[in-house]
Structure 1
Amino acid sequence: MKRMGKTLRTLLAGACGAALALAGTAPQAHAAPPRPPRLSWEAGDSGTDARFRGLAAVGRTTAWLAGTKGTVLLTRDGGRTWRDVSPPGAAGLEFRDVEAFDARHAVVLAIGEGEASRILRTDDGGTTWTETFRNTDPKAFYDCVTFFDRRHGIALGDPVDGRFRVLATGDGGRSWRVLPAAGMPAALPGEAAFAASGQCLVSAGPRDAWIATGGATTSRVLHSADRGRTWTATGTPVPAGDPARGVFALAFRDRAHGLAVGGNYRAGAPSPHAAAVTGDSGAHWTEAARPPAAYRSGVAWLPHSRTTALAVGPTGSDVSTDGGRHWHRFDTGSYDTVDCAPGACWAAGEKGRVARLATGPGSPHAQDGSSWR
Structure 2
Amino acid sequence: MRLRFALSVLSVACLVAATPLTAQAVTTPALGWELTETGVTARLRGLSPVSRDVVWASGSEGTVLRTVDGGRTWRNVSPPGAAALQFRDVEAFDSRRAVVLSIGEGADSRVYRTEDGGRTWTETFTNDEPRAFYDCMAFFDRRHGLAMSDPVDGRFRILATEDGGRSWRVLPADGMPEALPGEAGFAASGQCLVTSGGRDVWLASGGAGRSRVFHSGDRGRTWTVADTPIPAGDPARGVFAVAFRDARHGVAVGGDYRPDQASPSAAALSRDGGATWRTSATPPPAYRSGVTWLPYSPFAAIAVGPAGSDVTHTGGRTWRTFDTGSFDTVSCTRDLSCWASGEQGRVARLTFDRR
Give secondary structure in 2 for the equivalent of 1:181. coil
Between the two structures, name the one with larger relative contact order (CA 8 Å, sep ≥ 6): 1
Residues 31-40 or 220-229, more deviating: 31-40
Residue 311 to residue 138, structure 1, CA distance change in 2 (3 Å): same
Contact 2:134 2:147 in 1 (8 A): yes
- The answer to whether 1:153 aligns with 2:145 is yes
Q: Which residue, out of 338, 341, 347, partners 2:340?
A: 347
Instruction: Show the counterpart of 2:295.
Output: 303
1:228-307 equivalence runs, <5 A:
228-307=220-299
Instruction: Show the counterpart of 1:167.
Output: 159
Give secondary structure in 2 for the equivalent of 1:93. coil
Contact 1:316 1:332 in 2 (8 A): yes
Letter in 2 for 1:204: S
- The answer to whether 1:104 aligns with 2:103 is no
Q: Which residue, out of 348, 351, 355, partners 1:358?
A: 351
Contact 2:28 2:354 in 1 (8 A): no
TM-score, normalized by length of structure 2? 0.93
Instruction: Show the counterpart of 2:209.
Output: 217
Shift of 1:32: 7.0
Residue 158 to residue 350, structure 1, CA distance change in 2 (3 Å): same
Contact 1:34 1:322 in 2 (8 A): no
CA distance in 1, matches of 2:152, 2:225: 17
Contact 1:191 1:214 in 2 (8 A): yes
Contact 1:290 1:326 in 2 (8 A): yes
Shift of 1:268: 2.5
Give secondary structure in 1 for the equivalent of 2:354. coil
Shift of 1:123: 0.6
Contact 1:36 1:319 in 2 (8 A): no
CA distance in 1, matches of 2:62, 2:117: 16
Shift of 1:207: 0.2
CA distance in 2, matches of 1:155, 1:39: 32
Q: Which residue, out of 52, 58, 62, partners 1:60?
A: 52
Instruction: Show the counterpart of 2:200.
Output: 208
Residue 34 to residue 291, structure 1, CA distance change in 2 (3 Å): farther
CA distance in 2, matches of 1:125, 1:334: 28
Instruction: Show the counterpart of 1:12.
Output: none
CA distance in 2, matches of 1:301, 1:203: 13
Q: Which residue, out of 163, 182, 185, partners 1:193?
A: 185
Q: Give the CA RMSD over aligned residues.
A: 1.6
Instruction: Show the counterpart of 2:5.
Output: none
Instruction: Show the counterpart of 2:35.
Output: 43
Instruction: Show the counterpart of 1:18.
Output: none
Contact 1:196 1:297 in 2 (8 A): yes
Instruction: Show the counterpart of 1:16.
Output: none
Q: Which residue, out of 111, 117, 122, partners 2:114?
A: 122
Letter in 2 for 1:239: P
CA distance in 1, matches of 2:293, 2:300: 6
Alpha-carbon displacement from aligned partner over 1:121-164 (angstroms, at most 9, x marks no partner): 01111111000000011010000000000000000000001000
Residue 32 to residue 59, structure 1, CA distance change in 2 (3 Å): closer
Letter in 2 for 1:100: A
CA distance in 1, matches of 2:52, 2:344: 24
Q: Structure 2, unaligned stretches of length 5 or more?
A: 1-15
CA distance in 2, matches of 1:33, 1:219: 33
Shift of 1:269: 1.0
Instruction: Show the counterpart of 1:69.
Output: 61
Give secondary structure in 2 for the equivalent of 1:202. strand
CA distance in 2, matches of 1:217, 1:131: 36
Shift of 1:305: 1.9
Instruction: Show the counterpart of 1:9.
Output: none
Give secondary structure in 1 for the equivalent of 2:149. strand
CA distance in 1, matches of 2:40, 2:26: 38
Instruction: Show the counterpart of 1:84.
Output: 76
Shift of 1:264: 0.3
CA distance in 2, matches of 1:216, 1:114: 22
CA distance in 1, matches of 2:24, 2:38: 40
Contact 2:88 2:188 in 1 (8 A): yes
Contact 1:348 1:354 in 2 (8 A): yes
CA distance in 2, matches of 1:287, 1:224: 22
Give secondary structure in 2 for the equivalent of 1:38. strand
Instruction: Show the counterpart of 1:6.
Output: none
Alpha-carbon displacement from aligned partner over 1:54-88 (angstroms, at most 9, x marks no partner): 00011111100000000000001111110000011
Contact 2:20 2:299 in 1 (8 A): no
Contact 2:291 2:303 in 1 (8 A): yes
CA distance in 2, matches of 1:35, 1:344: 20
CA distance in 1, matches of 2:324, 2:222: 40
Give secondary structure in 2 for the equivalent of 1:115. helix
Instruction: Show the counterpart of 1:95.
Output: 87
CA distance in 1, matches of 2:188, 2:166: 25
CA distance in 1, matches of 2:25, 2:240: 25
Instruction: Show the counterpart of 1:143.
Output: 135
Contact 1:35 1:321 in 2 (8 A): no
